[in-house]
Structure 1
Amino acid sequence: MSQYEHLSTPDPEFSARWKPRPPLVLNLAEISKMRQGFKAFAIAPYLKYWKERLPAESLYQVQNFDIPVEGGAIKARYLKPAVQDDRTIFPLLIWLHSGGWMNGDIDMDDFWLRNVCVDLQISVLNVDYRLIPEYHWSTALHDSYTAVKWAVDHADILGASISKGFILAGASSGATTAAAIVHRAKEDPFFDNRKITGHALQIPLLIHLDAYPKEWKSELLSMEQNKDAPAVNKDGIRGLCDLTQASPTDLDFSVLLAPHEGVPPLYIQVCGLDPLRDEGFLYEKLLREKGIKTKVDSCAGVPHNFQLSMPDIGAGVKFDKDFREGVRWLLANSK
């Protein structure tokens, strides 16, 4: 029995609002229809909620960039708190959106990130990496890794200082990519004197379904406990693993299998009704056992990415508040 099984008990407020719908079926032949559904069900209510909570335009600045990447260019949106003095610089957070590497864009989290930028007084670079099936799964990682380096090289233009804090963050597939990047960066001389100071992960996928080691069998039980969860279930995770065509032992996909020594402090969020729940708890444990500073928060009884469709319920408000406190904790531990 998992020590976290109690977190699977459905949240009453979520259950009262949830409208049953057909299980998620991933079909790249109908990618346009899938994306329309994701926008309608998940992104639309999230944008509406945070649009009503936008800070005054005078409190922040917005600038769009085209970042050169292999084979083309990607868009990125930069948010910076407004300043009276041009010499004022802020910590930097790089954000990678969710969507299973096949959905989403820089607009989906835009209003929320504007609020976070002003509240935390932190600069944010929101990265629009390329998606499958138009591009291979690994393109998202390569695009995001290039964007991270671009941000470091252009910190003066961005008005950011990585010495004040340099955090990689993301949700779901974006969190998977963020975790892969901090592991890659350990061995990259580019980051020798420009260290990433923390990573903040929301509900990440951290190991391929076909790569579960026997020694972790007793710790990775949520995939079965929550196999019929609302929104994203085990079949959906299976479909995603298959569609990416990622090798089960690819350390950029199965980050749990990577050596964790030397990664920066971790803040991680898990959802109790998420098949990926125990992967998050195990990742935190593995890093903590390596002497890395960690902090973990959970939202009981809600499924994967619930905060998009129900940001206003109690668990959604907690999820957002916990993230902000987690980033503050990372910034305090980056000094």
Structure 2
Amino acid sequence: MSQQQPEQQLDFASGDLDLLGQRSAFNATVRDATRNAWASKLPGDDEYTVIDHQVAVEGSEILVRAVVPTPKNELERFPLLFWTHGGGWFAGDLDSNDYPLRMLSHELRLAVFNVDYRLAPEHRHPTQVNDSYAALKWAAANTDLLRADLKRGFIVAGESSGAHIAAVLVQRSRDDPFFKDYPITGQLLQIPPLLHPDAADRVSEKLRVRLRSYEENKNAATLTSESMRFYWSLLLAENNPHSASDPEVSPFLHPNLRGLPPAVIQIAEADPLRDEAILYGELLAEAGGKARVIMYLGVPHGFSTFFPEHEQSVKLEFDVRQGLRWLLDGAP
């Protein structure tokens, strides 16, 4: 396709569909796009095992999917990649990234753990984070089932709203005694929302003047600023006790970013979320952490899913693999 910014509008917050219709449309679009892009590249079924598990969460159970490479011998164990899908907190499922995650598992010899957390608005914040956190603990406590060795690497990753969840999980786990013996060793955040727009006034003036992308990209393809506000509104009910400035809503605002694991942050230039992700990488570095911040020029939110043959999408997939190798090399 042309290397110019795509003009096709894939905006699921337009109001043209009811909410369940929007969810169904999003899920089908993303599932079909990723399968079409990756199906021909998948290795044979004998190269890995896919098993779904039920994980107990508060008041319910959720489904998780484990992808484990076929071991070369009985002793082989794998680093663990924990993944939370995107979809504006109200859509997405285990099929959203299923094929790409199978490829990562095979290529990098990773055990992959993919989480189907409960969705908004039926389940408001912090359900998505809490479900994913329960799954994170389950994965850490069930490494034998996953043939995982967390000492070889324990990476938390996600895309879009899943990257928001991933960032919160990393912050929460740092301060949880449970993870003293299972520390997260890396994080991969793709096109992440990290700051609720209503909490921008809590950012220092020095940084606030650099938060321009909500205005500059307010009419961007695939995700407008209005759409992003719509997704936030689904996550946080008006009477939700968790405010926009709560660090588990806006991880950008966490008062202590020290001691967090190295991060790879992937950003679309034509995305309302661009600037908060850039600045979050800088804040991590200022707090003594390591961050690789990678910008993809001229493309909108979700570009690698909707336009997988675009040169920037090819670059993103290359950078995912290089970034994960960098994170794994840094594991203790």
TM-score grouping bracket, smaller chain normalisation: over 0.9
Distance in 2, Cα, partners of 1:282 & 1:169: 19
Q: CA deviation at 1:147?
A: 0.3
Given the two structures, how large is their TM-score scaled by the length of structure 2? 0.93
Distance in 1, Cα, partners of 2:12 & 2:143: 40
**Conserved in 2, the CA contact under 8 Å of 1:270 and 1:280?**
yes
Q: What's the counterpart of residue 3 of structure 2? A: 13
Distance in 2, Cα, partners of 1:151 & 1:28: 39
Describe the shift of the 1:140–1:40 C-alpha distance in structure 2 as closer, same or farther (beyond 3 A).
Answer: same
Matches within 5 A, 1:47-62: 47-62=35-50
Question: Is 2:217 aligned against 1:229?
Answer: no
Question: Is 2:323 aligned against 1:326?
Answer: yes
Q: Deviation digits for residues 6-39 of structure 1, max 9, x if unmatched?
A: xxxxx94254x54346x54266982221023213
Q: Secondary structure of the residue that 1:328 maps to in structure 2?
A: helix
Q: CA deviation at 1:54?
A: 0.9
**Conserved in 2, the CA contact under 8 Å of 1:101 and 1:173?**
yes
Distance in 1, Cα, partners of 2:52 & 2:92: 17
Q: CA deviation at 1:254?
A: 0.5
Q: CA deviation at 1:137?
A: 2.7
Aligned sequence identity (%)? 39
Q: Deviation digits for residues 296-321 of structure 1, max 9, x if unmatched?
A: 11110110111111112111111111
Q: CA deviation at 1:56?
A: 1.6
2:123 to 128, 135, 148: 135
Gaps of 5+ in 2: 237-241
Question: Is 2:263 aligned against 1:263?
Answer: no
The number of equivalent residue pairs is 323
Q: Tell me how large the CA RMSD over aligned residues is.
A: 1.8
Q: Deviation digits for residues 41-92 of structure 1, max 9, x if unmatched?
A: 4332222111121112121111111111111111111011111312210000
Q: CA deviation at 1:243?
A: 2.0
Counterpart residue identity of residue 169, structure 1 = A
1:248 to 244, 251, 254: 244
Matches within 5 A, 1:271-286: 271-286=268-283
Gaps of 5+ in 1: 1-10
Greater RCO, 1 or 2 (C-alpha within 8 Å, sep 6+): 1
**Conserved in 2, the CA contact under 8 Å of 1:26 and 1:240?**
no
Matches within 5 A, 1:286-325: 286-325=283-322
Distance in 2, Cα, partners of 1:313 & 1:148: 33
Q: What's the counterpart of residue 19 of structure 2? A: 31
Matches within 5 A, 1:3-152: 12-15=2-5, 18-20=7-9, 23-25=11-13, 30-152=18-140
Given the two structures, how large is their TM-score scaled by the length of structure 1? 0.92
Q: What's the counterpart of residue 239 of structure 2? A: none
